Structures are given as structure tokens and as C-alpha cells.
Chains A and B, each alone.
Chain A
């Protein structure tokens, strides 16, 4: 290849790799009339959990306050219910860039997606890469989540890279590749434990497809899956909203019968096409892509069997699991399965022979383009609060920080992380959550948590919450703020003993 052709290929690959980011920037400008810097995550809990924890990691590294619910914390580290990966990766990027800004959430998403596509560009022929990049660019969940602080876009990026790695392992199995893929799956499981379903698939792909290999992969993969899930659980704090109603634990304790009403409700939601039209179609598109990848001719029986196992583990298993014990809503399922859909697509693009790739990628791209206008309609409606009209939120955040942070800043050098942790009620958490000093952790309290002794050094409470909390925790008001009164926990600071529980 001559130098001009190389440069041309490089430029084309760079343009295609940045296409999702460019489309996201265009849509933000076109639909909301602003740029990425206007991003404010305050309207949506998941987004402000992510950004807030990343801000804490950027400001204090592993030495920030605690995140969690009702005073519970992770076994390892001080991160919240989504684990350590997002705050560490995004916080490190922010640290390198001079500190956290909210727009770094979507900006890092875009950088990671472009990076993953650049990796694909190195491994795939240019026309195949172009088709894959186009699919991802117009893939509805990518359009929807890329310019937000959700972690779904980087999860799709992770899916692309894992798909390529698994296709490489299936095509040319080796011990070294297997260890590399297992390490990658383990790290991915620390970002989202669902990726652990890939362990059995990876172990199956590493040898000749057959019954013995399947049994071995199922047993060893199951052990790895459990270990990865346990590792993630160590770094994630229990979430206040699922205290006592965790579907997995209720399934374990109550048996399959306990999960049947949930399964029935989830199936009803899943088949309610009228309420979920767009998301159900996206779900259908992902399922159709996987079905095409399975039906398209592969390079022999071995490749076909490996593809079957990979797609079953990667897409079918999480789909069934989510519907059975978590949620049947199209919105949640498309969000959670989008990354698995991206993996299946990348595996098909890298693993299928020439014409079979087109049989998968062309229809998927056509489906994404057909859904694009409806995707933009959803985007302009549901992503708008993050960009348009956020000035009022910013004013509230500034006012809250001005009223609350002078008192909180006094304990920034305290030895115990609890003294650098703020308790906020579940009822009113967005503004206090985002306005606390960056090095502070934030614990969210439901009504039951407030009735027990509070561990954090400070609490921001309304009158009703104070009445409940004061029964078990000695609290002294230290500042009046627009979102409630800021109390110091005198017992946590050692200024007063814990009161006796009232009978």
C-alpha cells in the first residue's frame, strides 16, 4: 500500500471512529442550541451518582468520603452502588485535565467510543469497519446515551473491543489469548457484572467445539462468573432502594416461586408494545442482529457452534436474566442490553466470512436508519433537561454550595471518612448531592435509615427527617441552606454520646 493510500485509510478510519461523537455534538447543537459544556446531570439520579463519584475521585483519589445508602458502604473502597470503575476511570481523566467538570462525563464517553472504534479500525477491513461504525453511529442507544453521563455508551465501546477479542480467540485459540480475554472479561465485570456471562463463552471458544469443551466451559466459566460477581460486589455499596428486596436474594431465599409474580409482571411490560414502541423495536433490532449472525453462513461447523455459544451467553442469557428477575420495560432492557448487542455485532463483523458480514451489517444499519427519526424525537425530549434550561439548576447548586460548603469544609482534613460524608434524604437529594465539596462522600437515607443512628459527620435534613433522625443521633444545626438545615452529627465527632434507643 503506498503512502497516499495509507494516509487516506487513516483519515477515513479517524472520521468513522469519531462519527458517533460528531453526530452527538451535532444533535446537542441542533436540538438544544448549546454545546457540550452546558451539560448538567442534575435531573437524573443515575447521572449525578456517576458524575459526583468521579468528581470525588478527581479531587481526593481513594481518600474521599463514603458513598452508599442508609449508612452502608462497600467492603473495598468507598464507592457507590455502581462500583469503582466509572469513578476511577473518569476521575483519573478529570485529574489529568485539571479537575472535574460535569461535561467531562459525556466528553469521556465520546473519547472512549472513538478509541474503541479506532481499535476496530486496526482489526477490520475498511469497508467492514465503515459498516460497523455506521451501525454504531445510528444505533439508537448510542445516539441516546452518548452525550449523557450514563455509562452505557462506554459499555458499548467495551462491547466492541471484547467482541473483537473473542472473535480473535475463536479464530486462533491459544493459551495466551485465552488469558488475555479472561483478564479483559474480569476487568469488564468490575465495570458491570453482567459481563461475567462471557466467561463460559470465552472458555468454550478456546478449544475445539464439542460436548466436553461445553461442560468444561460451563463449570469453569461458572466459577469465574461467581468470582467476578463477588469481586464487583466487594467494590459496590448496597443501594438504599433495594434494601431487603434484592431480586437475586429473594430468589435464593424464596425459591423460583417467589420470582414468578415478578417474571409475570416483567413479561407483561415486555409485550406491552403500545407503551414501549420505540424501545421494543430497538430490542427487536438487537435480537434480529443476533439471529442474523447465527443464521449467516460461517466458516465451518466449529465456527458456527462457537458463534452459537457466544451469542447465547452474551445476549440471550442476560436478556432472560433481566426479564426474569429485574425489569421488563423496553427502556431498561435496551439500555442494559445495548452493550451486549454491540459485542455480538463486533463479533459477527470480525468472525464471519465476507458476504455473511454484509448479511448482518446491512440490515442492522437499515434498521438503525429507519429508527433514527424516532430516536431523535426521543432524544430531543428526554435528553433536553441535561442541556437546555439548566441555568436554574446551576443557580440552585451555587446557592446551596455557598450556604453549606463553608461548614462542611472544616472537616475536609478529618481522619475518618465518615466525617467527610454528608447524609441526604432520598426525598430531596439532587441539589445537596451535587453541591457538597468534591472530596465529600454522600450517603442517601430512606425513612428506615434515618431512624437508626447516623454514621456520617453531617446531615442535611428537613423538619420531618430531623424529627426522625434526632431520636437516635445527637444533631446540632450548623447552617441554614435553601434545601434544608445542615446538622453536625455530634456523636460522630465525639462531642456527645449516642442517645439510648427509645422503647
Chain B
């Protein structure tokens, strides 16, 4: 039997299985990328529940130069807010990836207002989450929205590492509620 005849006896399906396995393994984290493909970006997800959490153990720092940071009606809470001119506000949060899923508290005052969460990667940015208001009038205080933190770059790893997230608020009056330096909370 020549080599070519030997190849002819190979099953195309067996060869396909070998290729699939080899390239899936070679591409790094097939399952992680496949789950990200299914999950990202989370667009207009439903409210998880309405409750302001009292605390978070996640280490994080917030930077929002030029963004209005106002006291909220609820004691202990403040909010970054888009000004009356409607110019988009950018809040950058750096946190340790200690959990796969976290919640945060955006709030809207008009239809078309939105919040986007991106992870800067090199000179580009991966969109993780976007939520736009479809109705006029204020959305409820304490409305929790979940964010997939394990979907970030290398998020498959069990290791805890710092992640930088950029939140962009648009629409007059759009708010991002926070407690001091804490914007993201572990999912209870």
C-alpha cells in the first residue's frame, strides 16, 4: 500500500476531528472564546433586581475627571451624572477580577440615554455591555444590572488580576451610582 493509498483510506471525518481538536487547542481557550462569543456584548439586559447593596469587598479605584459627582438621596451613595449640556461622561474603573459576575447601578432620565461598558485592549476597546433607555422618566433607584467580568481578556483564568473598565454615560441626567470608590459589587 503506497502512502497515497494510505491517505485515501483515512476517514475525512477522523481527519476533521483531528483538525478541530488541534486548532481549538492551539487557539488558546476555545471554551472561553466560545462563551464570550455567545455572551458579548450584553445588550439591553433585564434588571437583575432592585436593591442597593450595602458593601463590596472588591478592590477598585474610580477616575472620572470633569464628571459631576453629586450626593444621592440615599445616605452613603453618590452618583456620577451627565451634565445639562448632554455631553457624554466617561468613568474609568480599575478593579480586581475577584468574581465572574458583578452588578452596578446605572440610572436614566430620558429615552435614548445609555450606558456602555468597554474594556480597553491595546488601542482598541471590547464592548462588554450596553444599555439604552427606551422610555422617558426616571428608571428605578437600585436597579441592578449584571456584567460578565470573566468575559474580559484572559478572564478564563482563576487568577485575580486588575481589570480596567471604561463606562460611558450618554443622555441628559444619566447617572452611575456608587459608594465612595465602589462602582461594582459582587453578585450576592
Q: Which residues of A contact B (CB under 8 A)?
A: 31-33, 277-278, 281, 284-285, 288, 295-297, 355-356, 358-359, 361-367, 369-374, 376-377, 380-382, 384-385, 388
Contacts and interface: CB of A to CB of B under 8 A. Distances in A.
Given A278-B27, A370-B30, A380 B40 contact: yes
At the interface, is chain A mostly helix, strand, loop or mixed? Answer: helix
* Contact-residue size bin, chain B (C-beta under 8 Å from the other chain): 35 or more
Contacts of A356: 8
Given A365-B16, A370-B23, 19 more contacts: A33-B41, A33-B130, A281-B23, A281-B27, A295-B3, A296-B4, A297-B8, A356-B8, A359-B15, A362-B13, A362-B15, A363-B16, A366-B17, A366-B19, A373-B33, A380-B126, A380-B127, A381-B125, A385-B124
Contacts of B23: 281, 285, 366-367, 370-371
Given A366-B20, A373-B33, A359 B12 contact: yes
16 contacts: A281-B23, A295-B3, A297-B8, A355-B8, A359-B12, A364-B19, A366-B23, A367-B22, A370-B23, A370-B27, A371-B27, A374-B30, A380-B40, A380-B41, A381-B125, A384-B126
Contacts of A380: 40-41, 126-127
Contacts of B4: 295-297
Contacts of B33: 373-374, 376-377
A363 B124 contact: no
Interface string B1-39: 001110110101101111111111011101001101100
B27 A373 contact: yes
B20 A369 contact: yes
A33 B41 CA distance: 9
B43 interface: yes
Contacts of A296: 4, 7-8
Contacts of B40: 31, 380
Nearest to B130: A33
B121 interface: yes
B10 to A, nearest CB: 7
Interface in B108-150: 121, 124-127, 130
Given A281-B26, A355-B8, A363 B127 contact: no
Interface of B: 3-5, 7-8, 10, 12-13, 15-24, 26-28, 30, 33-34, 36-37, 40-41, 43, 121, 124-127, 130
Nearest to A368: B23
Contacts of A284: 26
Nearest to B9: A355
A296 B5 CA distance: 9
A156 to B, nearest CB: 19
A295 B19 CA distance: 16
Contact of B19 (A33, A363, A374, A385): A363
A33 B116 CA distance: 12
Contacts of B26: 277, 281, 284
A369 B17 CA distance: 11
A290 to B, nearest CB: 14
A126 B16 CA distance: 20
Contact of B18 (A33, A278, A295, A363): A363
B44 to A, nearest CB: 9
Given A297-B4, A363-B19, A377 B36 contact: yes
- Central interface residue in A361, A363, A369, A382, by most chain B CB within 10 Å: A363
Contacts of A371: 23-24, 27
A367 to B, nearest CB: 5
A373 B37 contact: yes
A370 B19 contact: yes
B35 to A, nearest CB: 8
A382 B16 contact: no
A288 B16 CA distance: 12
Contacts of B27: 277-278, 281, 370-371, 373-374
